[in-house]
Amino acid sequence: MSQAQSVELAAVTKRYDNALAVDAISLKIKAGTYCCLLGPSGCGKSSTLRMIAGHEEVTDGDIVIGQRVVNNDTPAERGTAMMFQNYALFPHLSVAENVAFSLHMKGVARAERLARAATMLELVSMEDYAHRLPNQLSGGQQQRVALARALMTKPSVLLLDEPLSALDPFLRVRMRSELRRIQSELGITFIHVTHSQEEAMALADLMVVMNDGRIVQAAPPREIYNAPRTPFVARFIGGHNILEDGDRTITLRADDLAVLSDAGASDARRRATVSEIEYRGVDVRIGLETEAGESLTAVIGERAFFDQPLTPGAVVGVGWRTDAAHVLTLDR
């Protein structure tokens, strides 16, 4: 495999005609990082990825891979490879020939390219399927083949555009851990676009939250979960309550709210009515409407909830430790 490379975006902008899709974003991704670009549909993730790949021109700013500005390089010259959402395998070629296709283009002899494809198929646990045609494979298997094919060019940076979105939930979780394993085995840089916060949190060393063509926050997932920078980030990653507290806007994790059966308890900061109870197996989600008209969500461990079960309509107190409140910066 080739060496991992760092990727840097320096005030990168993308316009389509007059529409601003990516607005002067700057980001440094260290070599060997698993980076996820996360955000709602239309926020500019794919445009950013395609500009790194060289499939889309940069309107302004620089893309730097390793020490080199690559704005004018072809995709092949950049040392990147892209894995697409639809796997785009050649239907008439066997799995092995699909994986070896880039070597075929380079004129590598058949025996050698099949031998190299076999090694790559082993990496993605598909060595027993080398002779099949793509339509004889499940979606998850086709995706492994597409991954092997992208890795065949020995990229120093692998770009993945919503690679798991076509899979059913069970396979998605399995492939997610496969991706993580392969990335750490190869040690190369992965940049993975997703709109799923769960996927980004599970995979990323560096999670980049985008909104409206800009980067709102870039940090390790745990840092983002514990200290979302803005109300948008807190809402997007989920599991948070946003409240006005005096003249500040704060966020509180749903699992940091205490629901007190005595609404007048001295540690109650709000009085609220239980609006909803949702059983989720490992825990219970409680919807609360405060007297001030705020909607809050508390999450309580399953056993703790059933020690003192509540029902909708109950009037309760809601408390939290002072240090659980995290102050947000208002969105621009």
| Chain residues that interact with ligand ADP, rule: CB under 6 A | 16, 19, 21, 39, 41-47
- The position carrying tokens 């991992």 is 4
- The position carrying tokens 């969500």 is 297
Nearer to ligand ADP, 192 or 269 (CB): 192
Shortest Å, Cβ 224 to ligand ADP: 18
Q: What's the chain look like in SS3?
A: CCCCCCEEEEEEEEEECCEEEEEEEEEEECCCCEEEEECCCCCCHHHHHHHHHCCCCCCEEEEEECCEECCCCCHHHHCEEEECCCCCCCCCCCHHHHHCHHHHHCCCCHHHHHHHHHHHHHHCCCHHHCCCCHHHCCHHHHHHHHHHHHHCCCCCEEEEECCCCCCCHHHHHHHHHHHHHHHHHHCCEEEEEECCHHHHHHHCCEEEEEECCEEEEEECHHHHHHCCCCHHHHHHHCCEEEEEECCEEEEEEHHHCEEECCCCCCCCCEEEEEEEEEECCCEEEEEEEECCCCEEEEEEEHHHHHHCCCCCCCEEEEECCHHHCEECCCCC
CA gap 192, 62 in Å, rounded: 20
Nearer to ligand ADP, 210 or 288 (CB): 210
Nearer to ligand ADP, 85 or 102 (CB): 85
Shortest Å, Cβ 85 to ligand ADP: 10
Shortest Å, Cβ 199 to ligand ADP: 14
Nearer to ligand ADP, 21 or 201 (CB): 21
Shortest Å, Cβ 87 to ligand ADP: 18
Nearer to ligand ADP, 21 or 300 (CB): 21
Nearer to ligand ADP, 43 or 179 (CB): 43
Nearer to ligand ADP, 50 or 144 (CB): 50
Shortest Å, Cβ 9 to ligand ADP: 14
CA gap 214, 230 in Å, rounded: 13
Shortest Å, Cβ 231 to ligand ADP: 20
CA gap 263, 89 in Å, rounded: 61
Q: Residue 252 to residues 111, 112, 223, 269: CA-CA distances in angstroms?
A: 60, 58, 14, 13
Shortest Å, Cβ 46 to ligand ADP: 3
Shortest Å, Cβ 29 to ligand ADP: 17
Nearer to ligand ADP, 236 or 305 (CB): 236
Other beta carbons less than 10 A from residue 289's beta carbon: 15
Shortest Å, Cβ 212 to ligand ADP: 9
Nearer to ligand ADP, 21 or 82 (CB): 21
